[in-house]
Structure 1
Amino acid sequence: MEPWGNLVSFVRAAEALNFSEAARRLGVSSSAVSKNVAQLERNLGTRLFHRSTRRLTLTEVGERFYAEVVEHLDSIEAAIARVDEFRQVPAGRLRVSLSPSMGIDNVLPLLSEFNTLYPAVVPDWHFENRRVDLIAEGFDAAISGAVELMPGVVARELCKLHLVAVASPTFVKNNPVPKEPGELEALDGIVVRSTQSGRPRKWTMRCTDGSSYDVSLKPSFIMNDPEAICRCAAMGLGVTLAPLDRAYPYLQRGELVRLLPDWYVDLGSVVVYYSGQKLLPAKTRVFIDFLVDHFEKNLAPNFRAV
């Protein structure tokens, strides 16, 4: 296919019948237009212009070629302008994958504000507990815990994700209050089942002084959902290690109390990941910026234990 610059230079020179005027319209030098046209003539194997010191005129072949390409050139330039406008103006369907707990509790409440700012963007959100292939499945972005990024995918951190030890005030009143992580193991525990092994999860707790301790709670109750373990703990059934964002409302209401306040489990970060291409669609770019800004200002402390 003929290089775009050669064709544009030819059409504009044919319209103006002057290389300098064509160059002015294109915002390039006159010599650049002359070289582009000369290259086009070499590629086509024919002269398109008669050149003299005083004037520039189209040859018969040049006139026919101009008539053939000008209409298509204008249509292509209009299409390019529309693409650029689409890239700059946030609009279109925004496909995002989110885990139900994170998405419904922390991202969905932002939808009204986002829609007010960007009414032409149509959210198409999928709430599911799985890691998606952005490119193969046609997603614009995904929100998840720490993930191993595929080639061509980048991520921005939304918040840290910590587990903390909690129990109900009634349970604390009727049982010994642990002073160190090992003492949690003597109490009735509400544990999460690993989705990989099917067995109760074991955790490494870290202290603000830099020490650590591997904890295995007694599996008196086994659940597979963070909201379920918080509710069980609020019922006084035992101690648990719960995601701080899930436990936060219970702590605020006094239905749970935090144990071992200097200790926590570091689960890494919650991230929004997306294609690493430089020219992101505007709808994706503004969504990511909006999300990162909101988490940084409003939600990050709810996830971080220290």
Structure 2
Amino acid sequence: MLFFQWMVESLGMETLSNLEAFVRSAEAGSFSAAARRLALTPAAVSRSVAMLERNLGVRLFHRSTRKLRLTEAGENFLASIGGPLDQLQGAIATVGADGPAPAGTLKLSMPPSFGAAHVLPLLPGFLARYPLIRAEWHFENRVVDLVAEGYDAAIGGAIERAPGTVARTLAPLHIIAVASPAYMTGRRSPTNPAELADLDGIAMRVLRTGRIRHFTLRDAAGREMVPALNETIVLSEPIAIREAAKLGLGVALLAVAEVLSDLEEGRLIRLLPDWYADDGGISVYYASRSFLPAKTRAFIDWIDAAFKGSKLPERFNGQPPRHSSGPIQR
């Protein structure tokens, strides 16, 4: 009660909607981005901030046609109100946990191949459980700005988190060496990563950096080695690399999640079953704040439970047999 009393005394008659419009606009750097996050129009967010400025008697933003910039008064006000506002919204969300069912548009970003293979099949169950949620899922190979672009969450692996986001790990992201049975016919299977140099390699160039992607493989004994993969073919997209490997063009280093069905159905075989690279985890990313929309929280909990129910963490595991609960080998 003391917290709520302090909020009322400190903020006077300002409504939560005006305060949140200010905080989210400051975080995103524009009214448009804040509006997408709040499911409002930019004009509505701008009016709420203008009303707050009028009632406080100070200008909170320097406005330009391209970006908002906090005034000194705005910076001080944000530092004072940002944390308490999130706490108050979190308390309201907790009190209202048994209220209306999660609803609204859930805007989600995920990699195309991984999303289509492992996340999209879960959509019918999710919508059956939460019929008031409308799915807007974007399949794209890029790191999105959750706040500025109005995304509720994103799924991906090995992503450098932006300030203000948190991640819940769903499954391991393990890299393994694969090739087609046809390519390996008549060829000696390598016994360690150095012997990959004797085979054709399908390498990946990262467009963002312009560099060839290299991985450090390790075995159960802790030995590490960077494979000397020949750059016979260089591609920039994991889907294309996988398809090139299936066409018998050489050896590829890919995430277990990318090649799981091909391994299980024999279109690809795993080389060097005692070696793998740990590239972090496949995670769901979302805004770091105490209050999350019910639709977002429902999805995060759902996808975590669905991955566990489908045993995807175990199936994506590329560790050697004696240290894993069922790695993929073919």
Q: Secondary structure at the match of 2:178?
A: strand
Q: Distance in 2 between matches of 1:108 and 1:161?
A: 19
Q: Are residues 1:139 and 2:151 paired?
A: yes
Q: Are residues 1:163 and 2:212 paired?
A: no
Q: Secondary structure at the match of 2:243?
A: helix
Contact 2:101/2:130 (CA < 8 Å) preserved in 1? no
Look at both structures and tell me which one has the larger radius of gyration over its CA atoms. Answer: 1
Q: Are residues 1:244 and 2:244 paired?
A: no
Distance apart, 1:239 and its partner CA: 1.3
Q: TM-score, normalised by structure 1?
A: 0.70
Classify 1:239/1:115 alpha carbon distance in 2 versus 1 (closer, same or farther; 3 Å): same
Unmatched tracts of structure 2, length 5 or more: 1-6, 14-91, 320-330
Unmatched tracts of structure 1, length 5 or more: 8-79
Distance apart, 1:87 and its partner CA: 6.9
Q: Distance in 2 between matches of 1:139 and 1:86?
A: 25
Q: Partner of 1:108 in structure 2? A: 120
Q: Distance in 2 between matches of 1:271 and 1:230?
A: 22
Classify 1:199/1:273 alpha carbon distance in 2 versus 1 (closer, same or farther; 3 Å): closer
Distance apart, 1:88 and its partner CA: 5.0
Q: Distance in 1 between matches of 2:118 and 2:198?
A: 34
Map 1:1-306 → 2, pairs under 5 A: 3=9, 84=96, 89-298=101-310, 299-306=312-319
Q: Distance in 2 between matches of 1:141 and 1:223?
A: 28
Q: TM-score, normalised by structure 2?
A: 0.65
Write the letter of the residue equivalent to 1:290: W
Distance apart, 1:154 and its partner CA: 1.2
Contact 2:114/2:258 (CA < 8 Å) preserved in 1? no
Classify 1:271/1:87 alpha carbon distance in 2 versus 1 (closer, same or farther; 3 Å): farther
Classify 1:118/1:265 alpha carbon distance in 2 versus 1 (closer, same or farther; 3 Å): same
- Range with bigger deviation, 191-200 or 243-252: 191-200
Q: Distance in 1 between matches of 2:230 and 2:315?
A: 27
Contact 1:162/1:266 (CA < 8 Å) preserved in 2? yes
- Quote the RMSD (CA, aligned, Å): 2.7
Distance apart, 1:3 and its partner CA: 4.8
Distance apart, 1:272 and its partner CA: 0.7
Contact 1:87/1:282 (CA < 8 Å) preserved in 2? no
Classify 1:287/1:259 alpha carbon distance in 2 versus 1 (closer, same or farther; 3 Å): same
Report % sequence identity.
45
Contact 1:189/1:238 (CA < 8 Å) preserved in 2? yes
Classify 1:241/1:2 alpha carbon distance in 2 versus 1 (closer, same or farther; 3 Å): closer
Q: Partner of 1:73 in structure 2? A: none
Q: Distance in 2 between matches of 1:87 and 1:228?
A: 47
Classify 1:216/1:163 alpha carbon distance in 2 versus 1 (closer, same or farther; 3 Å): same
Q: Distance in 1 between matches of 2:281 and 2:8?
A: 49
Q: Distance in 2 between matches of 1:234 and 1:3?
A: 67
- Range with bigger deviation, 126-135 or 107-116: 126-135
Classify 1:205/1:2 alpha carbon distance in 2 versus 1 (closer, same or farther; 3 Å): closer
Q: How many residues align structurally? A: 233
Q: Secondary structure at the match of 1:136?
A: coil
Write the letter of the residue equivalent to 1:230: R
Classify 1:300/1:211 alpha carbon distance in 2 versus 1 (closer, same or farther; 3 Å): same
